[in-house]
Structure 1
Amino acid sequence: MSQTESLFVTRLYRAPLSDVTPAVDPAELDASCYAIAEDDEAGQQWCEDNDYPGYTSYASLTDLPWRFPIFKDLVDALDKHVAAFAEDLQFDLGEGKLVLEDLWINILPEGGTHSSHIHPHSVISGTSYVAMPEGASALKLEDPRLAMMMAAPTRIKAARRELQPFIYVKPEIGEVLLWESWLRHEVPMNMSEENRISVSFNYKWVE
């Protein structure tokens, strides 16, 4: 009798930030993101020089948890979510642990996109969502096997979710999504007239 099983599963963690303490107020986080963006002249210049739509603190600020208490609370909450995800992934961390490597703000205006990419040298990456207006783009995740499929035919439109080459995840405000850092992902064009705001981050393994 034939048998088919799924191998090499790609995991995606999704949860409200409020599932753990401390509580993180989305409204306060939203206001803090705008305040930082307004004052961050180096970040604004980097975005202009690199034709980056909107604003990101990725290339300019490395100490957000020190600057704003709300970001310290965010990291404290993320630490717990990442620990839960690492347990689900059954990582053998030995005497080491996963620690925050970097954390940055993304403010994506109407028409803005973030092209497909991975996060090299990290273990777990993710995003917490601050503002997701109607029409804002979902997160697009790519099947990591796609480059090796070569001559394979396309999937039917009604293919089971685990067989689809791309998965679109529409997060809610106050949610956190986590994935392993090798998973290629992108943010398609923001079709909303309002800004799509998120805080992204990487965790590394420290032995």
Structure 2
Amino acid sequence: MPKITNLFATPLYHARLSDHGPAVDADELAASCYSIAEDDEAGQEWCEAEGYPGYTSYASLSDLPWRFPIFEAVKKALDKHVAAFAKELAFDLGEGKLVLEDLWINILPEGGIHTAHIHPHSVISGTTYVVMPDGTSAIKFEDPRLQMMMAAPTRTKDAPEYLKQFVYVAPAVGDVLLWESWLRHEVPMNMAEDERISVSFNYKWES
């Protein structure tokens, strides 16, 4: 009998943020995101200059957990999720550990997109979801081997998920997704009338 082994897994961690530590109030977190966006003139200017839809604090604020207590609570929960994921990934961290490098807000309006990208200088990246209106975008992940499949046919619609070239995940408010930072991902156009709010982050290895 033939034996088929699935090699080179691409793990995706999907949990509730509240699985580690006390629940973070989504309404309070959303209000904090809007408050920061309103006051962050540098972030607004960067978004306008770069043609970025909506608002992101990615290029302007790097200390959210120290500015707002609710973001410190988010960080504490994320630290535990990332530690659990690192264990599942069998990372040998030696005497080091994974530490939060960046944490930023994304407010995506109707018609806004986040184009495909990776986070090349980090180890684990992810997002936790604050406001997800009905009909808003899922997050789209791309098979990292796709660029080497020039001559390959497409997969059938009923192909198992681990064979698909693109996988869409539709998280709920309060969910957290984690992946290794080399995994290309994007947010397709937000087709909902309301804004989609998320908080994204990167973890680096400090030895």
Same fold flag (TM > 0.5) = yes
State the match for 2:41 in structure 1: 41
Aligned amino acid, residue 12 of structure 1 = L
- Kindly state the Cα deviation for residue 149 of structure 1 after the two structures are TM-superposed: 1.1
Count of aligned pairs: 207
1:87-114 per-position Cα deviation (integer Å, ceiling 9, x unaligned): 0101000000000000000000000000
Question: Are residue 100 (structure 1) and residue 100 (structure 2) matched?
Answer: yes
Measure the CA separation in 2 of the matches of 1:26 and 1:80: 19
- Kindly state the Cα deviation for residue 156 of structure 1 after the two structures are TM-superposed: 1.0
| Residues 79 and 99 in structure 1, CA contact (< 8 A), matched pair in contact too | yes
Aligned amino acid, residue 178 of structure 1 = L
1:159-194 per-position Cα deviation (integer Å, ceiling 9, x unaligned): 111100000000000010000000000000000000
| Residues 22 and 76 in structure 1, CA contact (< 8 A), matched pair in contact too | no
State the match for 1:147 in structure 2: 147
State the match for 1:20 in structure 2: 20
Measure the CA separation in 1 of the matches of 2:129 and 2:5: 34
- Structure 2: runs of 5+ lacking an equivalent: none
Aligned amino acid, residue 202 of structure 1 = N
- Structure 1: runs of 5+ lacking an equivalent: none
| Residues 130 and 174 in structure 1, CA contact (< 8 A), matched pair in contact too | yes
Root mean square deviation, CA, Å: 0.6
1:62-92 per-position Cα deviation (integer Å, ceiling 9, x unaligned): 1101110000000000000000000010100
Question: SS of the residue aligned with 1:158?
Answer: coil
Question: SS of the residue aligned with 1:9?
Answer: coil
Aligned amino acid, residue 51 of structure 2 = D
- Kindly state the Cα deviation for residue 23 of structure 1 after the two structures are TM-superposed: 2.6
State the match for 1:172 in structure 2: 172
The structure 1 segments of at least 4 consecutive aligned residues displaced by more than 6 Å after TM superposition are none
Percent of pairs identical after alignment?
73
Question: SS of the residue aligned with 1:86?
Answer: helix
Aligned amino acid, residue 194 of structure 2 = E
Question: SS of the residue aligned with 2:133?
Answer: coil
Question: Are residue 110 (structure 1) and residue 110 (structure 2) matched?
Answer: yes
State the match for 1:80 in structure 2: 80
State the match for 1:58 in structure 2: 58
Measure the CA separation in 2 of the matches of 1:22 and 1:65: 16
Aligned amino acid, residue 152 of structure 1 = A
Measure the CA separation in 1 of the matches of 2:5 and 2:187: 31
Measure the CA separation in 2 of the matches of 1:108 and 1:126: 17
State the match for 1:184 in structure 2: 184
- Kindly state the Cα deviation for residue 19 of structure 1 after the two structures are TM-superposed: 0.5
Structure 2-normalised TM-score?
Answer: 0.99
